[in-house]
Structure formats: structure tokens, C-alpha cells
Structure 1
Amino acid sequence: MEAPCKKTYSLFPEIKEPNRSGMLQVDDLHSLYWEECGNPDGIPVVYLHGGPGEGAGPRKRQFWDPEAYRIILFDQRGSMRSTPLAELKDNTTSHLIRDIEALRRHLDVDRWLIAGGSWGTTLALAYGESHPERCLGFLLRGVFLGTSDEIEWFVYGMRRFFPKAFEDFSTWIPKEERDDLLTAYAKRATAEEHDLRLEACRRWVTYSGSCSSLEYDREAVEKMAANETVVLAMGRIDTCYFKNGMFLEDNQILQNIDRISHLPCAIIQGGHDMIATPNSAYRLHKAWPNSVIHMVPDAGHSPMESGTLSRLIEATEHFKQHGRFDQLSESAS
């Protein structure tokens, strides 16, 4: 007998304008853009974007049923609509954790579901381990644990699968500096000369974008690389965080996982994710008894690849009905 086809989920309809939005001053220098969509009395969920520096664009509103969820998005320090753009001063993981708490208090949220992708998973876990009492659970896509091994892979290891992208990325740097590409890019991303700074950031973003999807989308990468705001925010903040080990102790996340392991967690992972490799997601799953994991066999790092997107929204639908993920079927390989 033929097995029934699994239901496919897609984005909820576009939300053109948030219910409310604003700028939250978190210190003398930084202000954060935030917005709320959906049901003001619904399940609170905060989405933590990747990068760092990527920003939480409007399409992220569409992961959640607006009738069931109170959808909270914000741009992290220096990112996109937050000010000052691409600012590195007082911009560390500890600062971002404090910002999330400041936003929670500002919006009068008691506990919320923590969702994130890529770097957003790192921040979600670090925040949760600092404030477990404020978390309903976690929905994580493309797990990145912020370890030195993962950073080394991003800078050098991906050349095994993307040799042309790596060649373009590495040969722009003078030969004598190629043994430490991260330092070379971080130095140029903070150069006084605007054109040099912009070009370094553009090449960093292009390298990352070229390795993100199982099927290369040249138009999407070129569009991103042509946006100066995106390029500067991602290039400068990414290189700063990577250079500083994401401002975490190596393996800090897994060492402290017992602080949140009693909470529900769904992990959605592209089986061919070359930026945040499946090994990290699987390590997290094995350390977290209350987690379920979905390895999407035909997906890379992007949340918009069809299999990943469907699994993400399936998880949001499951949580709205049950308040947990333990009955959500899982797959791992």
C-alpha cells in the first residue's frame, strides 16, 4: 500500500505593515528597530535573525499564523534599521542578550517562544541559558554553536564544496595574508577608506551567499551584494563577531545546555547545509532530551528552500496547537 503524502506547508500571507513598531534606546549609542504583528493576545514569539547583521526582514513575519501568534521581530545592534548602522562599539553577544531582555520588558512579555536561524540559533541558545525562566521553548533552523571549529570551517572548510567561491573570496587578499583570512577581512571591513571597507564587506557577503543554498541563486546573491546597507551591516558585524569567537567561550553553549534542556525544542536542519553543518545540529539534539530534529535531505542553509520552509512552518503550527514539539515526528541521519 502506498504511503500517504506528507502535508507541505508554505508561508502565511504577506503582512504589509506591523501592528506597531518603534525604536528602543538600549544605551547612549544604540537604538533597536522592533515591530509586532499578528494577534496581540496570541503566543508571544521573538525571532532572532542571522548574520550577525542580517536584520529581520518582512518575510520573517510570514512563518507564523497571525491569528495565533504575537509575532515580534527586531534588528540587532548595528543591523539594518537599528542605529547606528554597522556600529561595532559595545556590540557583543552579552550586549545582545541584555537587549533581548530590555525588549521583553518594554513589550511587557512574561515568557516567549525563542526562534532563530543560523547565528540567530547561537543567540537564542545563549539568551535562553541566561534567562531560562523567560522561555517557552525554542525553534532553531541551521544550528550554529559558535565554536572555533565552525568558524574555521566557514572561512576555510567550505572551499572543498565551493572552490570557485572560495577562490574569489581568498585571492582578493594579498598572498602574504591568506593564512589568516579572517583577520585580513576584519581589518579591511573596518578600514577608514570607504571604498575599501565596502568592497571587503561585499566580498564577505558574496562568499557567504554563494554557499547558502543547495541550488545556487546568482540573482539573489547579486541583489544582496548590491545593497550597501546589507553589505556594510553584515560584512562589518559578521567579521567582528567571527574574529572574536562570537564573544563566547569555546563550546559554551553545549556546556550550559542543562539550563534549558527541560524546555521543548525543534531543530530544522538542511542536510546539505555547508555554512552551519548538520553535525552541530545533531550534537545539540543528542545533548537535549526534549528536542526533536528534522534533517531536510534536499536543502542547504537558506530558510526559504522548500523542504526547510515546510518543516519550519509545520513546527510553528504544531506548537500553536500543543505548546510543545514532542509529538512532532522527527528525522535524523
Structure 2
Amino acid sequence: MADRRKPYPPIEPYDHGFLSVGDDQQVYWEVSGNPDGKPVVFLHGGPGGGTSPQQRRFFDPEAYRIVMFDQRGCGRSRPHVADGADLSVNTTDHLLTDIERLRAYLDIERWMVFGGSWGSTLALAYAQRHRERVTELVLRGIFLLRRSEIDWYYNGGAGAVFPDLWEGFLAPLAGAGPVEHPVDTYHRLLHSPDPDVALRAAIAWSTWEGGTSSLLPQPDHVADTAEPRFALAFARIENHYFYHRGFLDEGQLLRDAHLLHGIPGVIVQGRYDVVCPAMSAWDLHRAWPGSALHIVDDAGHSAHEPGITHHLVEATDLFR
């Protein structure tokens, strides 16, 4: 264990700004590392999670031109969903178009695509639609957005592993009206005209994910996910996507995995990932010839668990 790779040292962006992508949306972007290095785009999770400085550290700053951006409605992009941004213009198609607009704006011909959790979903959808723009894929915590995956996490499966946290997730649903799928009930609560109801639901939704994302408890991370502005955007955006099944056909990403043929890829998956169980990584690996799969036996979902970080840094070093 002692020889596991660590993240690269902290760095700051050398360029950043806002890109107008239509629909009155401005996407925050930043670039760090080597201006003449190999381009890589980082796709964050959630949806609605936003980017953080730690995420720059998966890449050798001397080798990579590191592009990061906050997806519509979250992070530093504007307008922010916590301020009432329009979710009708926040779909998978919109995000894929935003990625292409940013690539063209930064005058990048092709780039490596790096994504975890929802970022892996978006990376797969992007690579299947724009394979000519993708040099490699590095994916972590695979989420294929199948109904079975949503049911596992939001309809009781994961609750069998975390019954104490599951009770907290279910608490806002008490007295919320007719029994529905929790995703559907939360959809109503998160858009309640009563701001207290909406905020209570948002914090319960967000901290459920925060509390189940690592193999061992991380109280500071859970506290961050309870911050009201973050929780409102994260929960509303994530629930919006899952309520609409990611705006994808059922099983689409696996069905179209043959389109990844010829794109080198590394999949890193925690054995005890409760948020995105390892079966999805296994299914993707089986459907994507040429992909390498690393299952980390002492890790959950988080990219910042030591074994996950080790394999992610090794993968980016491999492709530099």
C-alpha cells in the first residue's frame, strides 16, 4: 500500500472565464497545467456537483493542458439553480453541446476525457456521439443510468447497507402524500413553493450521497454536502436528471458501447461502491473491447480514496 500514487501538487489555473452557451446560460471554465500540453477535459459528477481544486491534481501539470468546467446551473456557472435557474434547458443534450462549444472555443482538436460517477455517464455519451474528438477515456465509478441503478440507490437497495442514513433520506417523505418512487416524491418536494420544505429535502438528498460515497465515514465531506446553496443545486439538478432517466433511452450507453471501439480506456471502480455498484463497470468492460478495468478492493465511490486515486493517476500518466 505504501507505494500507491498520490495526487500531483496543488496548482492554480492560468486562464478562466465564462462561456455563453445559449439559453441565457454562462458556463464557468478554467485551464491549468501546461498550455502546450496534451488536452484533457474533466467532467464532474452529480449532475450538479461542480468542480473543485483537488480535481486538477489527477494530472501531471507538466504534461497536460487541464480543462475543467462547471456544468449548467451549478458551481460557478450562472444562473445558479439555487437562485431559480431554468432546469428545462438543462439536459444531457445541452451538456454535450456545451462540451463541444467549449472545445471549439479553446481551439482544441481532440482531447482525453476524464469523468467519474455522473461524469462517467456524460463521458460515455460524449464519446459515443463525438468519438472523433476523443483520444482516450479515463472513467471512475461507472454509472450507466439504467433504471436498475436508480432503483438500487434510491428505492431501498443501498439502504440495506446504510440503514441509519437511509432513515434520514426517507424522513422528508413522511406525510408527503401518495406513495411513489422516492425520486418522484423528491421531485415534488424539491420544487415545493415552501422554501423550508425544499431546503429540507435538498439537504436530505445531498447528504445521503455524501454519507454513502466513501468506504469509511468522512464527516467533513458530509458537512460540505449539507451547505444550503450547494444542496439546493445538487439535489434539484441530480433529481431532475434521474426523474427524466437522464434524457437517454434505457440501456443506451451499454447498447452503444461498440462505438467506443478503438478508443483506449481505463475504468477504475471501487469494490464496495454503494452509489454506483461494480456491476455497471463490469458490464461496460465486457461490452467495450480494449478497455482496462481496475477494481479496487478497499474503496467505495469517492475519487479521493487512496486506491482509486492511485489508479486514476496511473491512468493519466499512462496516456500522457
Query: Is this a same-fold pair by TM over 0.5?
Result: yes
Per-residue Cα deviation, 1:128-154 (whole angstroms, up to 9, x for no partner): 111000000100000000111111111
Counterpart Cα distance in 2 of 1:292 and 1:132: 18
Counterpart for residue 209 of structure 2: 208
Counterpart for residue 10 of structure 1: 6
Tell whether the 8 Å contact from 2:190 to 2:198 is kept in structure 1 after alignment. yes
For residue 114 of structure 1, give the secondary structure of its aligned residue in structure 2. Answer: strand
Counterpart for residue 329 of structure 1: none
Counterpart for residue 285 of structure 1: 285
TM-score by length of 2: 0.95
Counting only pairs closer than 5 Å after superposition, residues 310-321 of structure 1 correspond to structure 2 as: 310-320=310-320
Counterpart for residue 80 of structure 2: 85
Matching of residue 196 in structure 1 with residue 197 in structure 2: yes
Counterpart Cα distance in 1 of 2:311 and 2:291: 15
Tell whether the 8 Å contact from 1:80 to 1:229 is kept in structure 2 after alignment. no
Matching of residue 102 in structure 1 with residue 101 in structure 2: yes
Tell whether the 8 Å contact from 2:172 to 2:200 is kept in structure 1 after alignment. no
For residue 13 of structure 1, give the secondary structure of its aligned residue in structure 2. Answer: coil
Counterpart for residue 236 of structure 2: 236
Counterpart for residue 26 of structure 2: 31
Counterpart Cα distance in 2 of 1:104 and 1:193: 40
Counting only pairs closer than 5 Å after superposition, residues 165-184 of structure 1 correspond to structure 2 as: 165-174=165-174, 176-184=177-185
Q: Say which is worse superposed, 149-158 or 265-274, in terms of deviation.
A: 149-158
Counterpart for residue 73 of structure 1: 68
Tell whether the 8 Å contact from 2:136 to 2:319 is kept in structure 1 after alignment. no
For residue 173 of structure 2, give the secondary structure of its aligned residue in structure 1. Answer: coil
How many matched pairs? 314
Counterpart for residue 125 of structure 1: 124
Report the alpha carbon displacement of residue 312 of structure 1 after superposing the two structures with TM: 0.7
Report the alpha carbon displacement of residue 193 of structure 1 after superposing the two structures with TM: 2.4
For residue 89 of structure 1, give the secondary structure of its aligned residue in structure 2. Answer: helix
Counterpart for residue 323 of structure 1: none
Q: After the TM superposition, which segments of 4 or more aligned residues of structure 1 sit over 3 Å from their partners?
A: 175-179
Counterpart for residue 265 of structure 1: 265
Per-residue Cα deviation, 1:173-212 (whole angstroms, up to 9, x for no partner): 1255444211111111122222222211111001111111
Report the alpha carbon displacement of residue 6 of structure 1 after superposing the two structures with TM: 7.8
Counterpart Cα distance in 1 of 2:169 and 2:143: 22
Per-residue Cα deviation, 1:279-299 (whole angstroms, up to 9, x for no partner): 000000011111000000000
Counterpart for residue 328 of structure 1: none
Question: Structure 2 counterpart of 1:137, which letter?
Answer: E
Counterpart Cα distance in 1 of 2:179 and 2:215: 27
Q: Which ranges of structure 2 fall in alignment gaps of 5 or more residues?
A: none
Report the alpha carbon displacement of residue 216 of structure 1 after superposing the two structures with TM: 1.3
Per-residue Cα deviation, 1:213-257 (whole angstroms, up to 9, x for no partner): 1101123202321x2221111110011001010111000001111
Counterpart for residue 143 of structure 2: 144
Counterpart Cα distance in 2 of 1:103 and 1:68: 21
Counterpart Cα distance in 1 of 2:179 and 2:66: 43
Counterpart Cα distance in 1 of 2:53 and 2:178: 39
Counterpart Cα distance in 1 of 2:105 and 2:179: 45
Question: Structure 1 counterpart of 2:36, which letter?
Answer: D
Per-residue Cα deviation, 1:269-322 (whole angstroms, up to 9, x for no partner): 0000001110000000011111000000000000111111111111111111xx
Question: Structure 2 counterpart of 1:105, which letter?
Answer: A
Question: Structure 1 counterpart of 2:220, which letter?
Answer: E
TM-score by length of 1: 0.92
Report the alpha carbon displacement of residue 99 of structure 1 after superposing the two structures with TM: 0.4
CA RMSD of aligned residues (A): 1.2
Q: Which ranges of structure 1 fall in alignment gaps of 5 or more residues?
A: 321-333
Give the fraction of aligned pairs with identical amino acids, expressed as a percent.
43
Q: Say which is worse superposed, 177-186 or 93-102, in terms of deviation.
A: 177-186
For residue 295 of structure 1, give the secondary structure of its aligned residue in structure 2. Answer: strand
Counterpart Cα distance in 2 of 1:78 and 1:166: 27
Counterpart for residue 324 of structure 1: none
Counterpart Cα distance in 2 of 1:257 and 1:105: 25
Counterpart Cα distance in 2 of 1:184 and 1:289: 39
Distance 1:159 1:28, change over 3 A: closer
Counterpart Cα distance in 1 of 2:221 and 2:240: 24
For residue 26 of structure 1, give the secondary structure of its aligned residue in structure 2. Answer: strand
